[in-house]
Structure 1
């Protein structure tokens, strides 16, 4: 009875320990399993046997069955430890496709060899007939699973070549384009632009042409054509499209976009734009921005109508003044002063006083802010139809930004006095100006600053002070209803 107690106890403790550490971290699991291997080996050696016991050794022991069980457990735990070490050495990473394939295949080979050793050397079972029979079964299974095996070995070949990783955006010619979300033994799963999942067998992947859009960089090149029916000079059309690329935030500045003439007909001129986007997901956004900016610039330049729009139409197309009736638009247009700009010219500098509102009529302007440390932050670019200077004009405070011309262009200057009369008569215009200032504060100070400038804040906000400052010049303390 005493001879059976020790191996039985060790066997029970081993099974309990394996169950407890099964869900623990890998380091703890390996440490526990190595300790179990040492304890079982010590027990077997102490009883005069080994993990490969012979029949003569076990014949002398009354607890031979328990010692065989311990030897079986020793080999199974050893196989688990070796398979785990192999996985670590190869890099068991979800993004490492060849490591997963090789570690799984090697783990299978390790467990198969372990089973054969246990059957032949520990349990003394004949395996020659089993091996012969398994050869026939392997041939039958190979014929039945030839497509699956082709996918598996193709997966190994693709894994060794490593043309992509999980997370890369690829095109497998004639099959699918999208992001790799999973790569298994049999197939590759691709998430397409329509959020569908395309499953492609590895044998098809290995034979197909693979284009990896994420290597060496995720930057993507694209081209569009811009047809226009216009008799305008080709140089003007090229310059307007180049300005459209400057006004599209999703179009990368480097490498610089290129604009060229593609076709020149009797009534139609087609321009080509070659540009880059940061990622594939940005390509659609960049194209949409570019086409909208081209249309806007063409409209403000009068490309389709043959001549630029009159000043009254420029005001009407500006969102700030689109609520004004025609007679007020005409009156305001007579107060405008045109100012031409060349590249590098400063419209106004940060810290300078301002008492006018500026509407961009043509060209592209840079908006920058200079920090106390001397660093210059570019806040963006503005183009035709956009306006500047509202914050300084409404508050009397110095300009918070510097605006310089990046291209040749012109701006329309509206003195504050001309707007005061309109604000007294049009409540909608007053609200639009306040909204414009709020948006400017969002850009300058972020969303938190914008929230503190809510015009209905009981503590008295910047926008409330703007109303008082602007209307105080006429001795009024409120904006009358436009009706």
Structure 2
């Protein structure tokens, strides 16, 4: 009988060591295979224990003094394989349950509980240590450590609460009540890491994060609503102002069109009509770009429609100042004011702008009217005074042009056809300027040709071509510039 027990104990040790070796050979990349190995070796060791009539849940001194070490190691190996099997089941359950990565915190907590329980069981059932006395002593030590690690434990339990509540997941963009905002990039026992819009990492202790109000901008999606307040001098009827502001949003390229942006009249007094613009962007990172574009379009559409932006309520404007502004605005022709506001023509002198504006011819297109087909070479430069023009490529809208934008320079300067079809969305008013007015300017101002070529290359790039976009833009700009110079060089010789 003792010889039979010795054989079983030796077999237990062999199975335990073999299980550890095979478990390590499986690697962490194969959790399912690891779990199968753990179950098989644990089941085999359990069968051997039963055959040897060894009870792992009871402290039994070995029958022979010579086999004490083998007996102890066999029971320890059985407990180790039990803990690994339980931990394997926990990890597989978390994966199959579809838990996010931050559930690693719960997994680590459960694994720690399993290992602690196994360690106490080994001490009690293998070495015969009185666990009751040990727990009483460790309780006093735990109280001392708890007081010393109060803040750390607060962070740990706050992290557990945040993980169980799941107010956010890794990758979500959150906004805190103290103004801090960013994307969650990591979450551990003590802290949560946010990547801000300034590309900095903010480390927040979990106890602090749990006390702050939290807005999850990424749920249910990352579409973010922006509200922009505008004050307009009431020189036009409110419903006209409402329509112009709606046109502003319709001409914006960096905001979401579904759901559609909206405009609301929220107040009126003797000095201003108070308007609020509501629009959404696809990500919090797009807020600055979209807000800047909308503000630029508000200015351009107000200029083209004769609206004036009202002064803030705190600003007092005297009658003389008001009259001076009105006289100044009425002193210049509409075409000249529009040309002066376009950055491309900033290289021209006031006299050159006056001459250019005098040659401009006003044209109007009805809503839905086709202005140019794809590939058409227009015979004049067209500067948009009012309305929205849609740029289309293969029956798909790629961008929209607003007041202050212009097109047609490729056709009348270098004989190049339009890369997009152009269609009026609203009633569109443009100023046409012919080649004859530009010929002397391009000879005197070569930088004007460069700016026109850059604008045309940028508009052609809106078709959504892939690849090295910057290199394509530079090559296209150089080609267009050479073409423009060649045409006007021949024009000068002729």
- Partner residue in 1 for 2:311: none
Alignment CA distance shift 1:55-1:236 (3 Å): closer
8 Å CA contact retained: 2:59, 2:127: no
Post-superposition offset of 1:86: 0.4
1:318 aligns with 2:342: yes
CA distance in 1, matches of 2:250, 2:232: 20
SS in structure 2 at match of 1:63: helix
Q: Distance in 1 between matches of 2:13 and 2:221?
A: 61
- State whether structure 2 residue 458 is matched by structure 1 residue 450: no
Q: TM-score, normalised by structure 2?
A: 0.78
1:402 aligns with 2:407: no
**Quick one: distance in 2 between partners of 1:415 and 1:155?**
69
Q: Is the 8 A contact 1:52 1:71 kept in 2?
A: no
Q: Does the residue aligned with 1:347 lie in a helix, a strand or coil? A: strand
Cα displacement (A) at 1:282: 1.8
Show the counterpart of 1:427. 446
SS of structure 2 residue aligned to 1:119: helix
CA distance in 1, matches of 2:413, 2:67: 98
| Residue 382 of structure 2: aligned partner | 358
Q: 2:409 matched to which residue of 1?
A: 390
Greater mean alpha carbon deviation, residues 273-282 or residues 395-404: 395-404
Query: Residues 175, 11 of structure 1: CA spacing in aligned structure 2 closer, same or farther, 3 A cutoff?
Result: same
Is the contact made by 2:267 and 2:274 (CA closer than 8 Å) also made in structure 1? yes
Q: What is the correspondence of 1:232-271 to structure 2 with a 5 Å cutoff?
A: 232-271=236-275
Native 8 Å contact 2:392 2:399 kept in 1: yes
The within-5 A match list for 1:148-227 is: 152-174=156-178, 176-193=180-197, 195=200, 197-202=202-207, 209-227=213-231
Q: 1:140 to 1:27 in 2, by over 3 A?
A: same
TM-score using structure 1 length: 0.80
Q: Which moved more, 1:347-356 or 1:108-117?
A: 347-356
SS of 2:291's partner is helix
Q: Aligned partners of 1:425, 1:143: CA distance in 2, in Å?
A: 81
> 2:83 touches 2:114 (CA, 8 Å); kept in 1?
yes
Describe the SS at the equivalent of 1:62: helix
Residue number in structure 2 paired with 1:481: none
CA offset at residue 363 of structure 1? 1.9
Aligned pairs for 1:271-290 (under 5 A) are: 271-290=275-294
Comparing 136-145 with 359-368, greater Cα deviation is found at 136-145
Kept in 1, the 8 Å contact 2:449–2:481? The answer is no
Post-superposition shift, 1:360?
A: 0.8
Q: Deviations over 1:224-262 (max 9, x none)?
A: 211245634434433333232233333222222222333
Say which SS state the counterpart of residue 59 (structure 1) adopts.
Answer: coil
Written as runs of structure 1 = structure 2, the 5 A alignment for 1:79-98 is 79-91=83-95, 95-97=100-102
Aligned-residue CA RMSD (Å): 3.8
Shift of 1:389: 1.0
Report if aligned partners of 2:340, 2:353 keep a CA contact under 8 Å in 1: yes
Partner of 2:482: 464
Q: Distance in 1 between matches of 2:211 and 2:439?
A: 73
Instruction: Give per-residue Cα distances to partners, 1:188-216, cap 9 Å, x unaligned.
Output: 444455535252434x6556544322111
- CA contact under 8 A between 1:339 and 1:412: conserved in structure 2? yes
Q: Residue deviations 1:76-109, cap 9 Å, x none?
A: 2321231132022023988344x33432232222
Once the 2 structures are TM-superposed, how far is the Cα of residue 419 of structure 1 from its aligned partner?
A: 2.8
- Cα displacement (A) at 1:44: 6.0
- Tell me if structure 2 keeps the 8 A contact 1:176–1:198: no
Q: Counterpart of 2:462 in 1: which secondary structure?
A: helix
2:79 match: secondary structure: helix
Name the residue aligned to 1:342: 366
Post-superposition offset of 1:72: 0.6
Does the aligned pair in 2 maintain the 1:358–1:411 contact within 8 Å? yes
Match of 1:126 in 2: 130
Is structure 2 residue 27 aligned with structure 1 residue 55? no
| Deviation by residue 1:154-211 (Cα, 9 ceiling, x = unmatched) | 5444433322212222334457443333334455444455535252434x65565443
- In structure 2, the residue matched to 1:416 is 435
Secondary structure in 2 aligned to 1:66?
Answer: helix
Moved more, 420-429 or 10-19: 10-19
Q: Spell out, residue by residue over 1:13-55, the C-alpha distance to the aligned partner (whole angstroms, 9 max, x if none).
A: 6666666667665345545555654676677678775656863
**Structure 2 CA distance for partners of 1:140 and 1:242, relative to 1, 3 Å:** same
Report how many residues are paired: 463
The residue that corresponds to 2:392 in the other structure is: 368
Provide closer, same or farther for how the CA distance between residues 95 and 247 of structure 1 changes in structure 2, counting only shifts above 3 A: same
Secondary structure class of the residue paired with 2:279:
strand
CA contact (8 A) 2:106 2:163 kept: no
Match of 1:380 among 399, 408, 428: 399
